[in-house]
């Protein structure tokens, strides 16, 4: 099948788009309003977009509190959601009033960040402390400016990792079990069983062919 995204004539039960681009990481974003109200919400239109300097982005449908706080204060923190924290993460997405502290609502603990004012989620295995760079407004659907997405970029100025998740000099993703967003209301998470290693292919001297190198990782970033 195929469909035209302007017409959305897929004939399926639900729009499949978000189920096609999976798994998506979840940025559990904490911010402070300019009057100091603490805010926490998950965003799965979220990813790392560079590592020199490390930068992340997320997009907000409409001008939600997270976006407003970041534009007003210039700082945010993305905590990494382990699968254990799934219910707390979900609870923090509830559209409660502006003055409600979503850390409390979700039952998680704020822990001081090192380089920015908003706290991280203490129970999370890692957190990215970010300084706001810019917002890029995305094109809105014809005649519906209120449905516009706003793409927010931030530079990661500090990284926190719970030492329990560092094993042999490596961040132990299998132990952290990061949660991922799939389509519809589905989620997944990484485990040791679902992880494997692929070395990058070695290009032959003549530059016309390449060879696959069997694992384990040979320690080379090609
Ligand atoms: C797993 C998950 C992912 C979400 N991803 C997004 C997203 O990428 N963009 C968005 O605008 N809302 C997203 N939401 C909804 C927001 O979390 C929700 O609207 C929240 O109330 C926004 O809070 P805020 O107004 O404090 O920023 C997501 C919700 C969940 C549960």
Question: 44-103, pLDDT tens digit by residue?
Answer: 999 999 999 999 999 999 999 999 999 999 999 999 999 999 999 999 999 999 889 999
| pLDDT reading at 13 higher than 90 | yes
What residues pair up with 173 in beta bridges, in sequence order?
A: none
Rounded to the nearest 10 degrees, how much is the dihedral formed by the CA atoms of 164, 165, 166, 168? 100
Average pLDDT score over residue span 198-213:
94
Give the separation between CA 169 and CA 161, rounded to whole angstroms. Answer: 12
Residue 154 CB neighbours (<10 A): 27
Residue 205 CB neighbours (<10 A): 6
Percent of the chain with pLDDT over 90: 94
Provide CB contacts within 8 A for 205, sequence distance 6+.
none
pLDDT score recorded for residue 194: 96
- At residue 171 the predicted structure's pLDDT band, cuts being 50, 70 and 90, is very high
Contact 57, 36 (CB under 8 A): no
Contact 193, 202 (CB under 8 A): no
Q: What angle do CA 24, 91, 73 make, to 5 degrees?
A: 75
pLDDT score recorded for residue 146: 86
Compute the mean pLDDT over every residue in the chain, rounded to the nearest whole number. Answer: 96
Average pLDDT score over residue span 173-200:
97
Task: Report whether CATH 2.30.110.10 matches the domain 17-195.
Answer: yes
- At residue 5 the predicted structure's pLDDT band, cuts being 50, 70 and 90, is very high
CA neighbours within 13 Å on the CB side: how many for 164?
Answer: 8
- At residue 208 the predicted structure's pLDDT band, cuts being 50, 70 and 90, is very high
Alpha carbon nearest to ligand 1 atom 31, residue = 90
Give the separation between CA 115 and CA 109, rounded to whole angstroms. Answer: 18
pLDDT score recorded for residue 141: 87
Question: By C-alpha distance, which of 90, 106, 119, 98 is closest to 30?
Answer: 119
pLDDT score recorded for residue 114: 98
pLDDT score recorded for residue 1: 97
The residue whose CB lies within 8 Å of the most ligand 1 atoms, and thus the one to mutate among 32, 41, 147, is 41
pTM over 0.95: yes
Q: Which residues line ligand 1 (CB under 6 A)?
A: 26, 39, 41-45, 58-61, 64-66, 90, 93, 95, 181
pLDDT score recorded for residue 218: 92
The residue whose CB lies within 8 Å of the most ligand 1 atoms, and thus the one to mutate among 21, 44, 69, 79, is 44
pLDDT score recorded for residue 142: 85
Domain boundaries defined on the chain: 17-195
Question: 105-146, pLDDT tens digit by residue?
Answer: 999 999 999 999 999 999 999 999 999 999 999 999 888 888
């Amino acid at each position: 099948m195929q469909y035209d995204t302007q017409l959305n004539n897929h004939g399926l039960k639900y729009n499949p788009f978000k189920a096609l681009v999976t798994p998506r990481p979840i940025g559990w974003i904490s911010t402070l309003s300019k009057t100091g109200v603490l805010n926490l919400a998950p965003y799965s239109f979220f990813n790392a977009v560079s590592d020199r300097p490390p930068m992340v982005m997320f997009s907000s449908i409409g001008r939600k509190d997270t976006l407003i706080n970041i534009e007003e204060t210039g700082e945010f923190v993305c905590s990494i959601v382990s699968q254990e924290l799934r219910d707390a993460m979900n609870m923090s997405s509830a559209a409660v009033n502006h003055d409600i502290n979503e850390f409390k609502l979700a039952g998680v603990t704020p822990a001081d960040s090192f380089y920015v004012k908003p706290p991280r989620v203490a129970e999370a295995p890692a957190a990215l402390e970010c300084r706001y760079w810019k917002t890029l407004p995305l094109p809105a659907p014809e005649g519906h400016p209120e449905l516009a997405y706003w793409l927010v970029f931030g530079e990661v100025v500090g990284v926190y990792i719970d030492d329990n998740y560092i094993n042999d000099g490596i961040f132990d993703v299998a132990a952290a079990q990061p949660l991922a967003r799939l389509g519809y209301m589905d989620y997944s998470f990484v485990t040791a069983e679902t992880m494997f290693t692929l070395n990058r292919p070695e290009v032959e001297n003549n530059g016309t062919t390449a060879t696959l190198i069997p694992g384990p990782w040979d320690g080379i970033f090609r």
